[in-house]
Amino acid sequence: MRLRDVLRAAVVVAGAPAAVAAQDANFLLPVAEIHSILREGEIEVIDVQPSRGLPGERTYRVTLQSGDRVLQIKYAPAGEGADEFNNRPRYELAAYAIQGLFLDEPEWIVPPTAIRALPLDVVRATVARAGDSTVPPEPTFGDWRMTLVALQYWLFNVDLPEDLPDRDLLAEDEVYERLLGNFNLFTYIIRHSDSNRGNFVQSLDPAWPRVFSVDNGVAFASEESDRGTRWRDLRLDRYPVSAIDRLRGVTLEQLQARLGVLVQFEIREGNFTEVEPTENLDPGRGVRRGAERIQLGLTESEIRAIHRRIVRLLEWVDDGRYGLIP
């Protein structure tokens, strides 16, 4: 299928009321369906471009087809070992998981995100379509011809915010205040440490001006970015009571159970296939390898740091340092 035909199909999907009715303005498909496609769907790559339109980038904007669905994704191959600065797939997946602990789906901050273990030749062929200057990906683990790739849905109907926060809108729009409060709680909890322009985008829907975090690779225990850490801290005067109340119920044991093993792959018929997680192979490491098994998750120390930040937040709220949005 030619790209022109694919884009025409995407427009048809976007214009189909049945496909969009249950979604907000930023998703052309139900979130659960997007996530299923990213995790396990049969995908055909139609077009590949550098994410920001510049050659030599490490992430790509990929148009793909899965069955009769057409969507665009961010495609980010891991480096060797899958645990280098600003390229830790496990951090992207952890960020996607954490929002569900205290937010309902219409308020989520991170678009659907998954990790696939793809044959090296497939990843190299995909990346090569972006241009001759692109550096070919290497095996994530040298003795296996496989590359881990973080996949994230490419949002529709968003733009870079001119100001974040928009102080005028914050003063007059309670919906924006609530959504921005959720966003800031999220960036604080994950310790987002990269304020690079382009990491945050805002919906163009005036009725639901949600702010998304679309790059969460510099977070948790990561080194800081040289672009600043503006949203690593709490920056607003008050936060939604619904989110705060749900955070009160989050225990260290729940965090360990949810984040300790985020995804697991095992060799099945010569290929790495996602399987149900088993016992954590090594809580002190984020990337774990067995003879024919790979686990990705947060380390014990990273999880404990999340819990400490939540406890500190609740203490500050209870002490009156921050107000609550009813």
Per-residue model confidence as pLDDT tens digits over 230-242: 999 999 999 999 9
Radius of gyration of the chain (CA): 20
Per-residue model confidence as pLDDT tens digits over 127-137: 999 986 777 89
Sequence length of the chain is: 326
The count of structural domains within the chain is: 1
Decide the pairing of beta strands 69-77 and 146-153: antiparallel
Per-residue model confidence as pLDDT tens digits over 236-275: 999 999 999 999 999 999 999 999 999 999 999 888 999 9
How many alpha carbons fall within 13 Å on the CB side of residue 18?
1
Beta pairing partners, 152 = 74, 113
Helix/strand/coil percentages in the chain, nearest 5: 35, 20, 45
Beta pairing partners, 49 = 61
**Helices (H), strands (E): how many in the chain?**
10, 14
Phi, psi dihedral angles at 144 (to 5 degrees): -120, 130
Say yes or no to pLDDT of 12 above 50.
no
| Whole-Å CA distances, 224 to 14, 96, 163, 192, 211 | 38, 20, 22, 9, 22
pLDDT at residue 24, rounded to an integer:
76
Binned at pLDDT 50, 70 and 90, residue 23 comes out as low
How many alpha carbons fall within 13 Å on the CB side of residue 103?
25
pLDDT at residue 296, rounded to an integer:
98
pLDDT at residue 18, rounded to an integer:
35
Per-residue model confidence as pLDDT tens digits over 171-183: 999 999 999 999 9
pLDDT at residue 271, rounded to an integer:
87
Could you give the CA distance from residue 75 to residue 59 in angstroms, rounded to a whole number?
6
Taking Cα atoms as reference points, which of 148, 14, 149, 141 lies closest to residue 75?
149
Contact present, 75 and 59 (Cβ < 8 Å): yes
Per-residue model confidence as pLDDT tens digits over 55-74: 677 899 999 999 999 999 99
Per-residue model confidence as pLDDT tens digits over 27-45: 999 999 999 999 999 999 9
Determine if the pTM surpasses 0.85. yes
Q: Average pLDDT for residues 157-164, to the nearest whole number?
A: 95
| Whole-Å CA distances, 28 to 74, 162, 299 | 15, 25, 35
Instruction: Categorise residue 256: left if φ over 0, alpha if ψ from -120 to 50, beta otherwise.
Output: alpha
Domain limits for position 31? 3-325
Taking Cα atoms as reference points, which of 7, 26, 13, 12 lies closest to residue 202?
26
